[in-house]
């Protein structure tokens, strides 16, 4: 999907804020394939939580990466994906210290998540 490729390319490139016109030039080939106008690219990025679109006084549009708050669910999923094996809740609690979580809380998240399985009541496995 072209839009997904464009989004990933912009995420990797956008270490500092850039003008919309610069992004249009940098990703000209994909944007032409999508047949998007600058306003359409700005709108596409504006609706995504990780981007901030700002209209400057000069009339130019600036695109920057906004702050995405990492949730316990997201952090748990990332750890399990990386491990690629079941992890016991006590080990997960240690790796997720900043969330001040508990085993029962992690197990509850896993039970609700479509790609997580609870194994033996103490470990969680991520399956794609």
Percent of the chain at pLDDT exceeding 70: 98
The whole-number pLDDT of residue 107 equals 96
Q: What is the mean pLDDT of residues 110-128?
A: 93
Q: How confident is the model at residue 68 (pLDDT cuts 50, 70, 90)?
A: low
Q: What is the reported pTM?
A: 0.52
75-89 pLDDT per residue, tens: 899 899 999 999 999
Task: Estimate the crossing angle of helix 72-83 against helix 103-112, to 10 degrees.
Answer: 80
Q: How confident is the model at residue 39 (pLDDT cuts 50, 70, 90)?
A: very high
State yes or no: pLDDT of 9 exceeds 70.
yes
What is the chain's mean pLDDT, rounded? 91
State yes or no: pLDDT of 14 exceeds 90.
no
State yes or no: pLDDT of 67 exceeds 70.
no
87-88 β-sheet, strand order: 87-88, 123-126, 116-119
Taking the C-alpha atoms of residue 22 and residue 8, their distance in angstroms, rounded to an integer, is 16
Of the chain, the end-to-end C-alpha distance in Å amounts to 20
The whole-number pLDDT of residue 69 equals 67
């Amino acid at each position: 999907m072209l839009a997904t490729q464009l989004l990933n390319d912009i995420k990797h490139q956008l270490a500092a804020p850039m003008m919309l016109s610069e992004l249009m030039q940098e990703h000209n080939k994909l944007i032409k394939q999508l047949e998007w106008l600058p306003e359409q690219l700005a709108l596409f990025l504006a609706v995504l939580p990780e981007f901030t679109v700002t209209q400057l006084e000069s009339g130019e549009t600036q695109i920057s990466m906004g702050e995405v708050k990492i949730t316990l669910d997201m952090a748990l999923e990332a750890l399990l994906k990386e491990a690629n094996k079941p992890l016991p809740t006590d080990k997960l609690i240690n790796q997720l210290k900043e969330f001040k979580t508990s085993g029962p809380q992690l197990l509850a998240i896993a039970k609700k998540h479509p790609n997580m399985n609870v194994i033996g009541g103490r470990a969680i496995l991520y399956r794609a």
